[in-house]
């Protein structure tokens, strides 16, 4: 989670330093916000109220939360960068559903949750698991996380800019000038 906060801060900083506006970012109209809210509530509830590595129902709910997140992204594809966010979320969802949780390459003392477990020999697609360990932040990331975060930066930077104005074709300008 801390890497997400750092990424968002960097994205806002880049947007503002290059002439973007925080007000424009906040004016962004998003579709299917209910799907985003439901996905976040599901994931938080699973983290808080489900002990251990979970079972079939918990994994079904976790899969539903990822489907809702991808659905939210697809509903907002008009925003540049949202397809990249969707790809990152889909990759994470895939590895989680295949393995019954996200394999993490970390210390063996990891507290297993519905969403995360220490990498096991039986896990598949481990190259998509949380294998990028950031010691200073005490966090492990997946390639899906990195893709998602690049997409978020892209969305924020583009949303901070004014909409491009369309120039009229030179031929029309010449016709109007002659009239």
Q: In the chain, what are the domain boundaries?
A: 2-161
H and E: helices and strands count for the chain: 7, 4
What is the largest distance, in Å, between two alpha-carbon atoms of the chain?
A: 79
Query: CA-CA distance, 81 to 72, in Å (whole number)?
Result: 13
Residue-level pLDDT at 158:
93
What backbone torsions phi and psi does residue 60 show, to the nearest 5 degrees?
Answer: -65, -45
171 has pLDDT over 70: no
Tens digit of each residue's pLDDT (9 = 90 or more) over 74-100: 999 999 999 999 999 999 999 999 998
Q: Is the pLDDT of residue 175 over 80?
A: no
Q: Which residues pair with 134 in a beta bridge?
A: 139
With CA atoms as reference, report the closest residue to 135 among 2, 41, 29: 2
Give one DSSP letter per residue of 119-179, joined into a string.
--TT-S-GGGSB-EEEGGGTEEE-HHHHHHHHHHHHHHHHHTSPPPPPPPPHHHHHHHHH-
Contact between residue 93 and residue 153 where contact means Cβ atoms under 8 Å apart: no
pTM of the model: 0.84
Tell me: the pLDDT tens digits for 108-147? 666 788 888 889 999 999 999 998 888 777 778 999 999 9
């Amino acid at each position: 989670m801390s890497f997400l906060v750092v990424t968002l801060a960097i994205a806002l900083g880049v947007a503002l330093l290059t002439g973007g506006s925080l007000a424009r970012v906040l004016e962004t109209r998003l579709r299917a916000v209910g799907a985003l809210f439901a996905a976040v509530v599901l994931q938080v509830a699973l983290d808080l109220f489900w002990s251990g590595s979970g079972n079939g129902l918990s994994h079904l709910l976790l899969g539903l939360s990822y489907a809702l997140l991808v659905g939210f992204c697809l509903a907002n594809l008009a925003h540049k960068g949202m397809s990249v966010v969707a790809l990152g979320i889909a990759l994470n969802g895939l590895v989680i559903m295949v393995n019954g949780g996200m394999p993490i390459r970390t210390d063996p003392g990891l507290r297993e949750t519905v969403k995360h477990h220490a990498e096991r020999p039986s896990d598949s697609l481990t190259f998509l698991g949380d294998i990028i360990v950031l010691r200073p932040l005490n966090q492990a990331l997946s390639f899906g996380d990195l893709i998602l975060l690049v997409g978020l930066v892209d969305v924020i930077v583009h949303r901070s800019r004014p909409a491009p104005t369309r120039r009229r074709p030179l031929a029309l300008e010449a016709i109007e000038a002659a009239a």
